[in-house]
Amino acid sequence: MDPRILVIGAGAAGVAAATRLIAKGYKNLTILEAENRIGGRIHTVPFGANVVDLGAQWCHGEANNVCYQLGSKLNVFDSNTARYENFELTKSNGERVPMEQSEKLMEAMWTILGTHKNELSHYRGSLGSFVLEKFRSFLETPEYGDIDHDTAYQFLEFFHKFENSIESSDSWFDTSGPGYLHYWECDGNPLLNWRDKGYRTIFEILMQRYPLPIAKDAINLEEYTHFNKSVANICWNSGPDQTVSVRCTDNTVYDADHVISTVSHGVLKERYGTLFTPKLPPIKVNAIQGLSIGTVNKLFLEFDKPFWPKDWQGLSLLWTKSDLEAVRSSKNSWMEDVFGFYTVDYQPNVLCGWISGKNGRKMERTSEDEVRKVCMHLLRKFIKNTTIPEPKSFHRTTWYSNPNFRGSYSFRSMTTDLLNTSAEHLALPLTNSCGIPVVQFAGEATHSHYYSTVHGAIETGWREADRLVGLYERLFTTRTEQGPKAYVDVLILGAGMAGLGAAKALRTSGKTFALLEAQSVAGGRISTVPMKAQAGVDREGPRIDAGAQWLHGRQNDLHGIAVENDLLREELSEEGLGDYLRDDRYRVDDFLVQKVDFLVGQILEECEGFAKKGCEEFPTSVDTYLREQFERRIGETFRQDEQELARQLLDWHIRFQIIDNSCMSMKDISAKLWGSYSFNGESCQAHINMKYGFQALVDCLVDDIGHEKIVFNKEVSEIRWKDLKSRVVVKCSDGTSYSCQHLIVTFSLGVLKASLNKLFQPALPKSYRRSIRNIGFGTIDKIFLQFESAC
């Protein structure tokens, strides 16, 4: 099979995906690029003595950096000569901050963002709030007593702008404090330049055209690329037909089996509502809205010759209060956020100014000639006693104004925290009903830790290419065996969710493994069964879950798999809703029901404190604590005529908890350990429903693991686990035997309790047997009533 693959975008992620696929033999491939060039947010252009990079400029670090790994052997890197800590801090009145004070202030910031940054993991606020608190603490120490208040806070405003240019945020009060830690820095030199070739070199390397453009394995990616193709709509099908149709703004249409979208996150934010048909699932929309992208722009000035001293590396701009007030009332108030001008490696006559955020976008709306004049005004204002000539040439970037980018790079904002989203959610592919990915997502914003970087973008392109390669390898690999061998490295007993989870983890371990399942189907205590079809209406009846029914929360691996395979319904379920009726048909008032529900919930939440606080004294059971506390508060919570009904509702809640905890009585439930159960910080009230029943999730796991790995109808009768030359032998009731190096037992606790004395030879250690006997395990059953029609 030769799948049709469409890559949208020829930036770092798109080129990485395309070259990886072509190298693997997938050549039925087309790239749609909205610009007239390959590169995306890498844009190297002629300027001055050679070239400048309008977008990505540096290779950030060496360890675990794929750009460095690709280029280091080819001698394409050089260390940046300009160092941030050596830049002059210059005030708008021409006064230079003494170097000793500059170094102290910069050291304070590097300490806050370096030594203290781990404190951010538990911080519930913005990066700006954190820095401000720490900076104030530094200024209160004797070491900083020689720095006047105005200078310190002028520097703070400069560093605020500088940090915004790193994060690509409008303000560091927009940047999430904990989210700041999501970014991983690569060890090694953080500012490696590409000598006089520019960042476009990385594309030549990916296409295997560097240093020889006509090398044997060179990939001529231009032959696969259609330029000036802005995508208007991606029509994807969630049914079994996986064809995707992509329409461009010039009304050309491209059909494909798979689409890899690498469009900028800024474009996704602006156009996600119209770009996809059908609409994106909520988890995807949440990620697009929650992950943020900002604007960072550069201002290049070339002079006939340098007007600055030989070893001068640039200047950072600090505004006095009076000058700042004047700037803010001027027509070009955006100049306030130009935070510095710096020298450029391999460009002896060029300075580069930097601006970001809202004023960076405002600058884009100003004419290029006016921007040039403002840059010269700034240089002449801050640098006194020097004749500064007019520039020979000028170029500024406009990353936000370009409709094909709408920004520079992504960051983790306070909105990211608020919406509880992540790059993983953005990276989830859209799949058809068979779980086949039809639209995939790559680009720096989809990387969990290297977002905002080229090496992150490349990794995501490879990730999505490898997803497709792995898919077709699984689909078309010839199976030489119909079942597992008698010996495997790892044998898993039980093909319920625990067993399937273990198998999924082992799939890429290099170990041989197999699962033995006593039933004829996988799933264990998951059992989705059809009910009777309604005559003349449905061809098949509704599916019901006889066992596990809901996904509890989103912070778990099963939720990710379900989202990836489009198995979730949008509607959530809650328990305890509906009418409350007595046996005399009396309907209890909703307000009273809610009052009792709130009180019971409050008491049970308080009971959690015994575990969380490690209390040495605690009630004998949850039942005791709940009843005692309810009686203690009933008089102050309910009127006299409500109290009997309130006790009847308490009885319902206790019976509900008996079901919820699978116990015979709430007297069996430990009050000491009641708070030990965790929902990973999520609410346990809303339950997530499956479109096709829980069995569909089991089927996806089985497909991923491989049907041939599971042997059904294998009831285990004996496990010999000791003194057998380091092997475990498992005997089945049908007389077959299997051996393994490692055994994973996923039997239900009920099976272990029933077979404890005969299953294991020799017997398990005493501590294991005690745990199996003492941990509670009960029974819950469901009764389904199906009617011909609703009442």
> Mind listing the pLDDT tens digit for each residue in 409-442?
999 999 999 999 999 999 999 988 767 899 999 9
Mean pLDDT of 538-548: 75
Considering the domain 5-79+192-293+405-471 in this protein, what is its CATH number?
Answer: 3.50.50.60
Counting every residue written for the chain, the total comes to: 791
Q: What is the pLDDT of residue 257?
A: 93
Q: Which amino acid is at 27?
A: K
CATH topology for 84-174+296-396 is: Polyamine Oxidase; Chain A, domain 2 (3.90.660)
**The pLDDT of residue 199 is above 50:** yes
Confidence of residue 535 (pLDDT cuts 50, 70, 90): low
- Check residues 472 and 271 and name the one with the higher pLDDT: 271
Share of the chain above pLDDT 90, in %: 69
Q: Give me the mean pLDDT over the 693-719 stretch.
A: 89
pLDDT by residue (tens digit) across 268-288? 999 999 999 999 999 999 999
Quickly state the pLDDT bin for 297 (edges 50, 70, 90): very high
Token pair in block for residue 637:
């919570």
Return the pLDDT at 419. Answer: 94
Give the pLDDT mean for 185-203: 94
User: Please, what is the average pLDDT of the chain?
Assistant: 90
Model pLDDT for residues 122-172, shown as the tens digit of each residue? 898 999 999 999 999 999 999 999 999 999 999 999 999 999 999 999 999
Question: Which pLDDT score, from 0 to 100, does residue 572 have?
Answer: 77
Distance CA 450, CA 460 (A): 10
pLDDT at 735: 84
| pLDDT at residue 640 greater than cutoff 50 | yes
Residue 537 has what pLDDT? Answer: 54
* pLDDT mean over 300-308: 97
H or E, element range at 232: strand 231-235
Is pLDDT at 265 greater than 80 in this prediction?
yes
**Backbone φ, ψ for residue 164 (5° rounding):** -60, -35
Higher-pLDDT residue of 676, 485: 676
Residue 479 has pLDDT above 60, yes or no: no
Mean pLDDT of 586-599: 90
d(CA 786, CA 107): 72
HEC per residue, 572-639 = EECCCCCCCECCCCCECCHHHHHHHHHHHHHHHHHHCHHHHCCCCCCCCCHHHHHHHHHHHHHHHHCC
Give me the mean pLDDT over the 528-535 stretch. Answer: 74
Give the Cα separation of 641 and 84 in Å (integer): 74
DSSP assignment of 365-431 equals TS-HHHHHHHHHHHHHHHS-S---PPPSEEEE--TTTSTTTSSSEEE-BHHHHHTT--HHHHHPPEE
Distance CA 341, CA 321 (A): 21
Q: Which whole number is the average pLDDT over 305-322?
A: 94
Rounded to a whole number of angstroms, the CA Rg of the chain reads 32
pLDDT at 575: 78
Spatial separation of the C-alpha atoms in residues 394 and 341, rounded to whole Å: 13
Confidence of residue 481 (pLDDT cuts 50, 70, 90): very low
Q: Under a CB-based contact definition with an 8 Å cutoff, are residues 395 and 401 in contact?
A: no
Whether the model clears a pTM of 0.85, i.e. scores above it, the answer is no
Share of residues in the chain with pLDDT > 70 (%): 94
β-bridge pairing 437-441 and 487-493: unpaired
Q: What's the mean pLDDT in 460-470? A: 95
More confident residue, 311 or 789: 311
- Token code pair at residue 537: 């209406």
Asked if the domains 5-79+192-293+405-471 and 487-540+703-774 are classified in one and the same CATH topology, the answer is: yes
For domain 487-540+703-774, the CATH superfamily is FAD/NAD(P)-binding domain (3.50.50.60)
Summarised one tens digit per residue, pLDDT across range 49-106 is 999 999 999 999 999 999 999 999 899 999 887 665 567 899 999 999 999 999 999 9
Distance CA 733, CA 718 (A): 8
Q: Is 56 helix (H, G, I), strand (E, B) or coil?
A: coil
**What is the per-residue pLDDT for 84?**
58
Q: What is the structure's pLDDT at 482?
A: 39
> pLDDT by residue (tens digit) across 362-373?
999 999 999 999
Inform me whether the pLDDT recorded for 534 exceeds 70.
no
User: How does pLDDT run across 446-455, given as a tens digit for each residue?
Assistant: 999 999 999 9
Tokens of 480: 């030489």
Residue 494 pLDDT > 50, yes or no? yes
Q: Give the pLDDT score at 621.
A: 93
- What is the C-alpha to C-alpha distance for residues 741 and 490, in angstroms, rounded to an integer? 6
Handedness of CA 251, 252, 256, 262 (dihedral sign): negative
Q: Where are the domains of the chain?
A: 5-79+192-293+405-471, 84-174+296-396, 487-540+703-774, 590-676
What is the DSSP code string of 642-692?
GHHHHHHHHHHHHHHHHHHTT-S-GGGS-STTGGG---TTS-SS-EEEESS
Confidence bin at 686 (pLDDT 50/70/90): low
So what's the pLDDT on residue 678? 74
Q: What is the mean pLDDT of residues 228-232?
A: 98
Spatial distance between the Cα atoms of 203 and 561, rounded to a whole number of angstroms? 33
